Amino acid sequence: MLEWLSMGGNARFVWPSYGITLLVLWLNIRWARQAARAGRAEAKRRLAMRASDS
């Protein structure tokens, strides 16, 4: 197990690569959900304005 984790002495290059990739992929999901929520909130606000105008 330790031998596998050491990646033949390249652990300090291999694991940060995977860590950064997972972090960015997770952030992308988070930002996409935020964007979807923002779009929904914007649509709701616009509809409310329209309802109050009419």
In the complex, the residues that contact other proteins under the rule CB under 8 A are 4, 7-10, 13-14, 16-18, 20-21, 24-25, 27-29, 31-33, 35-40, 42-44, 46-48, 50-51
* Helical segments of 1-54, H only: 2-6, 11-53
User: CA-CA distance, 38 to 42, in Å (whole number)?
Assistant: 6
Shortest separation between residue 4's beta carbon and other proteins, angstroms: 8
Shortest separation between residue 52's beta carbon and other proteins, angstroms: 9
Sequence-distant (6+) residues with CB within 8 A of 14 are: 7
Shortest separation between residue 22's beta carbon and other proteins, angstroms: 9
